[in-house]
Structure 1
Amino acid sequence: MTIQPIGSASVALYITPADLKEHGLTPTGLTLERALELTRTAFRQAGMDLEGSIEIEAYPESCGVLVFAHVRPPEQRWFSFACLEDLAAAARALNQPRPDAALLWWEERWWLSLPAGAEQTAARLSEFGRSEAGRPHLGASLAEHGRVVFPADALSGVLTYFPV
Structure 2
Amino acid sequence: MSTPHVVVVMGVAGTGKTTIGPLLADALGVPYAEGDDFHPPANIAKMSAGTPLDDRDRWPWLDAIGAWAHDRAGLGGVVSSSALKRGYRDRLRVAAPDAVFLHLTGDRELIERRMSERKGHFMPTQLLDSQFATLQSLGADETGVAIDVSGTPEDITARAVAALRGLDS
Same fold judged by TM-score > 0.5?
no
Give the helix-richer structure, 1 or 2.
Answer: 2
Q: TM-score, normalised by structure 1?
A: 0.25
Structure with greater strand share of residues: 1
Say which structure, 1 or 2, has more relative contact order (CA 8 Å, 6+ apart).
Answer: 2
Q: Which has the larger radius of gyration?
A: 1
Q: TM-score, normalised by structure 2?
A: 0.24
